[in-house]
Amino acid sequence: MATPSRSSTPDGERPKPSSAPEPPDASFLVADDRCLVALVDAASAEATAKAGDHVVCGSGCSPCCFGPFSITPLDAWRLGRGLDALASTAADTAQGIVERALATAAAQTSTFAPEQVGQLRSEEEERHHYKAFADVPCPALCPNSGTCLIYEWRPLACRTHGPPLHRSGDDFPPCPLCFKKADPALVDEMRLCLDVVDDVETPLVERVAAEEDNDARTTVTFALAAWSGSSVSAPPETPRPDEEPHRPHSRPSSARSALPGE
């Protein structure tokens, strides 16, 4: 992919693995998070296989990658590890993600209170933030291929997008591109139930939040910008013409972001 020639670091170097402190029991957190991800991926794969042609998600299908949605502190931590891993093997690609994250975060900073930049503490705040930036691509979205550049470390919401979802006692619709010709009864039958995930995820989220002394949800953009260790207060730079992302015809309302009434 084409990447910006400008560096996001003051000394002109390409991004390097972050020196951000990890929890003292990071090795246990890594193992526990892998178990959580495996659980979610297995459940999602089973639901997708069961749905057959009703789920049309695939590589390069990226309407769900436009518009901000909230992620947990655990998701943000996982994204940071992914950015570190990518920076150690593909510095140019990581540099592109960081620069897009910093530019996008800078453009969105003014919508937050000064003491709450990048933090979403209610569903109302999330809806407002999404509506304001619904056409903005995720910084991790490859501008050329429409694929996720940190796919292995993506948030749980991204991992479960597509099938209809049941979680935390609520039902959420499928991606608008999926189940278009399905009877409502079939949609209910195919619903991916993730209630058991809460029991596994919640303690891990609380562990990361306690270590960072911040339990607020954030977005992929601000998580990546913060992990890069750079300020997001500077004005956004103009993207290169050859990096203009392709735009979808419509941005689905998100079962992924689990916002009732969106």
pLDDT digits (tens, 9 = 90+) for 188-224: 888 988 888 889 999 999 999 998 888 999 999 999 9
The answer to whether residues 154 and 162 touch, using CB atoms and an 8 Å cutoff, is no
The pLDDT value given to residue 158: 93
User: What does the pLDDT read at residue 229?
Assistant: 60
User: pTM to 2 decimals?
Assistant: 0.76
| Nearest of 174, 169, 172, 171 to residue 195 by alpha carbon | 169
Tell me how far apart the alpha carbons of residues 105 and 224 are, in angstroms, rounded to a whole number.
Answer: 9
Q: Which two tokens stand for residue 32?
A: 């526990």
pLDDT of residue 14: 38
Check residue 25 and give its pLDDT: 56
pLDDT, one tens digit for every residue, the chain (262 residues): 333 322 233 333 433 434 344 444 567 899 999 999 999 999 999 888 888 888 888 787 888 899 999 999 999 999 999 999 999 999 999 999 999 999 999 999 988 888 899 999 888 898 889 999 999 999 999 999 999 999 999 999 999 888 888 888 888 888 888 888 888 888 888 898 888 888 999 999 999 999 888 899 999 999 999 987 643 333 334 343 343 333 332 233 333 333 333 3
Q: What is the pLDDT of residue 37?
A: 96
- Residue 116: phi, psi to the nearest 5? -135, 30
